[in-house]
């Protein structure tokens, strides 16, 4: 069964001088998660932000934090990100030796366990893990930068994974991340995604209005 549709604005594209205002505007528009992209300069070329920023955001934000770790060996930091306030903690399949073990550890903290897969990873590789995942993030761009154009082939992977989730009635949210805009979000929803990450399409321009337009589409479809 398809999970509730939610928008998860990624603050990677936000104006950090006005972060509180931008988060408040996203919430006012109807966003239900806040997506937090952590990059280490190793798993991906860019470096973004980490625990200290997250702790501040947690104080000023009542939305659940959807934390996307684009870092090598994320198992080293599970406890730190849980303590910093993650509500959903997502590690990359390509970055961990034993995904099942990390996912289980995340769950033992009472935090939702997420697994992200990069565009080059076939859906089959994570199929067996679906019963121990709370949220699967299908990357629709190469992880590492906001503002890219989505890779159309990744849509088939979303559809394939949604099929497995529905057939088996797994309680897994299907998140898509990368290149989602007002004029293409329907494609991701139709393929079976129910959690939509969006960075530049929300934080460039009027944040509240941008979120509102997304929410209308999420509700309408
Ligand atoms: C990319 C990040 C995304 C990114 C999305 O590595 O995981 O969350 O911020 O940004 P847009 O919506 O601009 O593609
Ligand atoms: Zn992300």
The CATH classification of domain 6-220, taken from the options 3.40.50.880, 3.20.20.70, 3.40.50.300, 1.10.10.10: 3.20.20.70
Sign, CA dihedral 53-56-61-63, equals positive
Ligand with minimal distance to 182 CA: 1
Q: How far apart are CA 44 and CA 95, in angstroms?
A: 10
Asked whether the predicted pLDDT for residue 135 surpasses 90, the reply is: yes
Compute how many other C-beta atoms are within 10 angstroms of the C-beta atom of residue 219: 9
Does the pLDDT of residue 120 top 60, yes or no? yes
pLDDT(199) > 70: yes
Specify the pLDDT at position 221: 59
What is the structure's pLDDT at 220? 84
Q: What is the pLDDT of residues 63-79, one digit of tens each?
A: 999 999 999 999 999 99
Strands, E assignment, the chain: 6-9, 34-39, 65-70, 88-92, 112-117, 135-139, 173-177, 195-198
Please state the domain extents for the chain: 6-220
* End-to-end alpha carbon distance in the chain: 16
Tokens (6 digits) for 135: 């949220």
CA 92 to chain centre: 11
**Could you tell which of 199, 203, 211 is best to mutate to test the pocket of ligand 1, judged by most ligand atoms within 8 Å of the CB?**
199
Per-chain mean pLDDT for the chain: 97
Ligand nearest to the CA of 66: 2
Which structure tokens are listed for 164? Answer: 């497995």
Q: Measured from the CB, is residue 184 less than 6 Å from ligand 1?
A: no
Q: Which pLDDT score, from 0 to 100, does residue 2 have? A: 75
pLDDT surpasses 90 at 217: yes
Contacts of 134 (CB under 8 A, 6+ apart): 88, 107, 112, 113, 114, 171, 172, 173
Q: Identify the band that residue 1 occupies on the pLDDT scale cut at 50, 70 and 90.
A: low
From residue 46, how far is each of 54, 58, 142, 145, 200 by CA, in Å? 18, 23, 12, 7, 17
Question: Which own/partner pairs from 85-89 qualify as long-range (CB within 8 Å, at least 24 positions apart)?
Answer: 85/54, 85/55, 85/57, 85/58, 86/36, 86/54, 86/111, 87/111, 87/112, 88/33, 88/64, 88/112, 88/113, 88/114, 88/134, 88/135, 89/113, 89/114
pLDDT one-digit tens code per residue, 141-185: 999 999 999 999 999 999 999 999 999 999 999 999 999 999 999
Handedness of CA 71, 77, 79, 83 (dihedral sign): negative
Ligand 1 atom at minimum distance from 180 CA? 12
Closest CA to 135 of 115, 109, 162: 115
Query: What pLDDT does residue 108 have?
Result: 98
* Mean pLDDT across 48-55: 96
């Amino acid at each position: 069964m398809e999970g509730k549709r939610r928008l998860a604005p990624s603050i990677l594209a936000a104006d950090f001088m006005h972060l509180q205002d931008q988060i408040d505007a996203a919430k006012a528009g109807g966003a239900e998660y806040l997506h937090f992209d952590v990059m280490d300069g190793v798993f991906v070329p860019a470096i973004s932000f980490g625990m200290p920023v997250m702790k501040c955001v947690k104080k000023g934000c009542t939305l659940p934090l959807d934390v996307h770790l684009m870092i090598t060996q994320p198992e080293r930091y599970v406890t730190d990100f849980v303590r910093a306030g993650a509500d959903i903690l997502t590690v990359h399949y390509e970055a961990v030796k034993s995904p099942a073990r990390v996912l289980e550890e995340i769950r033992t903290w009472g935090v939702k366990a997420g697994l992200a897969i990069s565009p080059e990873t076939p859906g089959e590789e994570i199929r067996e893990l679906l019963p121990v995942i709370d949220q699967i993030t299908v990357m629709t761009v190469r992880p590492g930068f906001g503002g890219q154009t989505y890779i159309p082939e990744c849509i088939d992977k979303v559809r394939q994974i949604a099929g497995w989730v529905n057939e088996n009635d797994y309680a897994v949210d299907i998140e898509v991340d990368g290149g989602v805009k007002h004029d293409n979000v329907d494609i991701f929803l139709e393929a079976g995604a129910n959690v939509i990450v969006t960075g530049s399409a929300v934080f460039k321009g009027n944040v509240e209005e941008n979120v509102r337009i997304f929410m209308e589409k999420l509700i309408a479809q």
